[in-house]
Structure 1
Amino acid sequence: MQPNPAPIRPDFKSKLSRRYITVSMKFWISHALAIGWMIFSIYLSLPWLADLSSIVSLPVAVFIIGGIAYVPGYMNAFLVVSLLFDRQPAFKNESPSDPVALLIAAYNEEGGIFNTLEYVANQDYNGKLHIFVINNNSTDNTVKEVKRAKIGLDLNITILHEAKPGKFHALNKGLQRVMTPYVITLDADTLLHPSAVRLLVSRIKTSPSNVSAVAGSMLVRNSRESIWTRIQEWDYFLGITSIKRLQGLYQGTLVAQGAFSLYKTDCVREVQGWPDAIGEDIVLTWRLLHNGWKVYSEPLAVAFTDAPATLSHFAKQRSRWARGMIEGLNEIKPWNQPQLYTKYLTGVNFVMPYLDFVYTFCWIPGLILAFFGHFWIVGPMTLLVLPLTMISYGLLYIYQKHYVFKNLNLRVRKNRSGFILFIICYQMIMSPVSVWGYLQELFKVKRVWK
């Protein structure tokens, strides 16, 4: 997916039905159909349940099949129906001019921070951008590169220094200097589409007053670097995007990711800024939701990031994400969230360790057994999850290509090998990595941000 340097004016006129359906109706209709699908799958799985029960007992069989088929099938069905209902409201003002602060925490980023700032300089945003680059103990030429960008790109950049290690310390240092109503966080290796800031601000200006943050849309820039980045390209393009859209529909995007998101400055200050957590953006978002505010996402506000190019780097990143989710759950329980939708959405995260555990310790061994003709755990019945998965990805592909990429003058790169491996192998890597992250948090292993 190649960034296009030309600013755009997207066409927001929807060709879809204009019949209004409340968010509450969408929520309950999606639930009803998803539960119906799960009941149907339970009925079809009775012979499978009986066979597995004869080997491991009925409770254990329900535990295993529930984690492999029942719960994932329900979740996929809920996702598919919800995506069919999703309609992004048109912007009230496509060219806002509110002043915005932009925070970039930088630790040894000399290789790419000038390029990041160059894309900031090319934004088609009409308002003033005040950029704070917070140097967090860099030992390379990061500061020198920022100074070069400040002069060469004619940007309003303030360089700050934070001696305490940790991204949350750097961001909070920058927050102290912010004087604007909105603040954007941007990773030092992330490139912005020329209209990204404008569209992000347009979304929060269009949203109700109780929306505290809007998450941007992240895509992979370096998908040609390795097979791992090829696979992750589809995860960002289809998987992560679909979850963001689902959560945004129900007004509770669970992660306004630090890589590129916009926040109301007063809201961030009211929850005491970014917390001391390895998933500082996750916990911050959950604190905002816990205060009764809503968090949206904007699919058209696109940024391009470098995905981990090796399995080791990938495992470290995703285990951090899993660990950050547990940090959020430890601080704010789903039942303590004030809104029904966020209770449900955070509650889904409460179930994820169970699903990852079953996939890692039951499904993968079951797949190995299936190769030897033993279909006790993995067999023909498990294939019933695939149609819903393909339908959801198909809907996302159509949406991304025709609504997002077409409006942004982007093209979808051909990446068949990455897609095939994403469908077949990705979860077999993700679940064990996530389990490792859960265990790290359980045993309080030393936190490492990179």
Structure 2
Amino acid sequence: MKLNTPPPPQETVINNVEQATGESNLPSTQPYRRLYMTIPVKFTIAILLAIAWTTLSVWLSKRWLIDLANITNWPFAIIAITFIAYVPGFMNAFLISTLAFDRRPPRKKLTEYPGVTILVAAYNEADAISDTLTSLSRQDYKGELEIFVLNDGSTDDTVAVANKALKALSIPANFHIQVMDYPVNAGKAAVLNRGLALASHDLVATIDGDSWIREDGITQIVERFVNDPPNTRAVAGAVMVRNSRHNFLTRAQEWDYFHGIAAVKRMQSMYHGTLVAQGAFSVYQRDALKSVGGWPECVGEDIVVSWALLKHGHRIGYAEDALAFTNVPTTVKQFALQRKRWSRGLIEAFKAYPSLLFKPRLTTLFIWWNLFFLPLDLVYTFIFIPGLILALFGHFWIAGPLTLAVLPLAALWNIFIFRIQRKMFHREGLKVRQNFGGFLFYAIAYSLLMQPVCVWGYVSEMVGMTKKWDTK
């Protein structure tokens, strides 16, 4: 699938599917006004539907549960089937219900656009930094933009390439771009905090050094920030894959960013419960960042700082139509290191803010949701994958009939989110490009690679292995 965005000098294949806007997917007509339901009501209905589906699953799986218990034992059977069938089924049912009820308010234009400081953390980004700066120079933002390229001790020509690009670009009068060269590598959190100390505007955005920001990206993420509820202190943008046509792995990640990451963020944002303002493209309120001590020294600095904001009672929003396109890992090793880092970041967040599990707000469900990723990944890696191998030889003890019952539900929520994203694409004047082979790999085999890597990340954090930013 292809986005008709202004092409940078290198490949600009951006995504097979697109992020949804902050607007309703259907016209605002009188019948929808009459059928409007409050957020707590939608949440309650989604929970009840998910519980109903899970109850049905438990009833249907009685024979499977008994047979597996006879072969192994009851504790093993209950744990295995719970995390192979019941929990994924509950999650899929809740996702479908949420997407069906989602009617979010429109993002409105502003009469005056506030100044924004943009922090571009860069470590060995000589191949991509020029394109990132090109995309920033083409922003249609009407307010003042203060942009700091924060070079964190790169060992390549990142600084030279950035300075050369700035001389060649046409920079709008309301944009001020400066390269800050820190010769000693201090880590991403440290260099972002240095940029935060330099920021002169109340809104601070972060962008990765290998990202391409669509020309209205800053405008739309700021509009969402201003239009969101008053306690909003951060808004995550929509990050999609830029180099999706590099190979089969990047094609599969294209679907992961759209159908996995984007769908979950959309679901969370409907209940005012977005959990992570990712470092690749997000905007924060400067004083809120400073009140929690800025970005912490850890591998998952964006996850942990987001949970720090939640801990203080703040809200994080999601701008579905503020689009950034990032280069994803092109090799299995790079992919494994990235997902290992993300998993470590999740454990870091739980270690830093375990009390969020008991905070009385709708976001608490999603904190528990993330907690369940640990047993889900463990069971998938050490029980379900061996079960698949057994099934190939005709032994359906673990990968059993109810496993197949989860597939239609997963397919249904994929259809829901695809339709939502495609409608936004059309509204944004973008076209969808086919990537069926990537989807097949994503749907059938992607988890076989990703979830064992996640387990590796959990273990690495729990045993205290060395942490570093450079994972390329």
Q: TM-score range by the shorter chain?
A: over 0.9
1:123 corresponds to 2:177 = no
- SS of the equivalent of 1:176 reads helix
* CA shift in 2, pair 1:96/1:357, >3 Å: farther
Query: 1:150 Cα deviation (Å)?
Result: 2.6
**What is the TM-score normalised by the length of structure 1?**
0.96
Paired residues in the alignment total 447
- Cα deviations across residues 128-183 of structure 1 (Å, max 9, x unaligned)? 11101111001222112222233322251122233342000110000001111101
Residues 148 and 178 of structure 2 are in contact (CA less than 8 Å); yes or no, is this contact kept in structure 1?
A: yes
Q: Which residue of 1 aligns with 2:258?
A: 237
Residues 334 and 342 of structure 1 are in contact (CA less than 8 Å); yes or no, is this contact kept in structure 2?
A: no
Which amino acid counterpart does residue 142 of structure 1 have in structure 2?
Answer: T
Q: Which residue of 1 aligns with 2:443?
A: 423
**What is the TM-score normalised by the length of structure 2?**
0.92
5+ residue gaps, structure 1: none
1:86 corresponds to 2:86 = no
1:203 corresponds to 2:215 = no
Q: Which residue of 2 aligns with 1:366?
A: 387
Q: Among 66, 69, 88, which residue is 1:50 paired with?
A: 66
Query: 1:119 Cα deviation (Å)?
Result: 0.6
Supply the distance in 2 between the matched residues of 1:105 and 1:96 (Cα, whole angstroms). Answer: 28
Q: Which residue of 2 aligns with 1:382?
A: 403
- SS of the equivalent of 2:381 reads helix
Residues 366 and 377 of structure 1 are in contact (CA less than 8 Å); yes or no, is this contact kept in structure 2?
A: yes
Residues 3 and 432 of structure 2 are in contact (CA less than 8 Å); yes or no, is this contact kept in structure 1?
A: no
Query: 1:367 Cα deviation (Å)?
Result: 0.5
Supply the distance in 1 between the matched residues of 2:357 and 2:95 (Cα, whole angstroms). Answer: 24
Supply the distance in 2 between the matched residues of 1:337 and 1:272 (Cα, whole angstroms). Answer: 23
Supply the distance in 2 between the matched residues of 1:60 and 1:334 (Cα, whole angstroms). Answer: 29
After alignment, is 305-314 or 342-351 more displaced?
342-351
Query: 1:72 Cα deviation (Å)?
Result: 0.7
Which amino acid counterpart does residue 263 of structure 2 have in structure 1?
Answer: S
Which amino acid counterpart does residue 355 of structure 1 have in structure 2?
Answer: L
Supply the distance in 2 between the matched residues of 1:196 and 1:229 (Cα, whole angstroms). Answer: 23
1:312 corresponds to 2:322 = no
Q: Which residue of 2 aligns with 1:220?
A: 241
After alignment, is 356-365 or 14-23 more displaced?
14-23
Supply the distance in 2 between the matched residues of 1:119 and 1:329 (Cα, whole angstroms). Answer: 35
Q: Which residue of 2 aligns with 1:15?
A: 27
Supply the distance in 2 between the matched residues of 1:407 and 1:78 (Cα, whole angstroms). Answer: 27
Superposed counterparts of 1:144-223, under 5 Å: 144-153=160-169, 154=171, 155-162=175-182, 163-223=184-244
Residues 234 and 282 of structure 2 are in contact (CA less than 8 Å); yes or no, is this contact kept in structure 1?
A: yes
- Cα deviations across residues 55-110 of structure 1 (Å, max 9, x unaligned)? 11112100000010011101111111011111221123257521111001111111
Residues 238 and 320 of structure 2 are in contact (CA less than 8 Å); yes or no, is this contact kept in structure 1?
A: yes
| Structure of higher RCO (CA pairs closer than 8 Å, 6+ residues apart) | 2
- Cα deviations across residues 312-357 of structure 1 (Å, max 9, x unaligned)? 1101100110110010011111545644212211111111110000
- Cα deviations across residues 182-227 of structure 1 (Å, max 9, x unaligned)? 0110000000111111100000110111001110001111111011
Supply the distance in 2 between the matched residues of 1:417 and 1:126 (Cα, whole angstroms). Answer: 41
Supply the distance in 2 between the matched residues of 1:210 and 1:391 (Cα, whole angstroms). Answer: 34
After alignment, is 304-313 or 19-28 more displaced?
19-28
1:135 corresponds to 2:147 = no
Q: Among 31, 36, 41, which residue is 2:57 paired with?
A: 41
After alignment, is 408-417 or 364-373 more displaced?
408-417
Q: Which residue of 2 aligns with 1:4?
A: 4
Which amino acid counterpart does residue 285 of structure 1 have in structure 2?
Answer: S
5+ residue gaps, structure 2: 8-20
Which amino acid counterpart does residue 315 of structure 1 have in structure 2?
Answer: A
Q: Which residue of 1 aligns with 2:462?
A: 442
Deviating above 6 A after TM superposition, structure 1's stretches of 4 or more consecutive aligned residues are none
Which amino acid counterpart does residue 434 of structure 2 have in structure 1?
Answer: K
* CA shift in 2, pair 1:315/1:6, >3 Å: closer
- SS of the equivalent of 1:219 reads strand
1:410 corresponds to 2:426 = no
Residues 334 and 347 of structure 1 are in contact (CA less than 8 Å); yes or no, is this contact kept in structure 2?
A: no
Residues 283 and 324 of structure 1 are in contact (CA less than 8 Å); yes or no, is this contact kept in structure 2?
A: yes
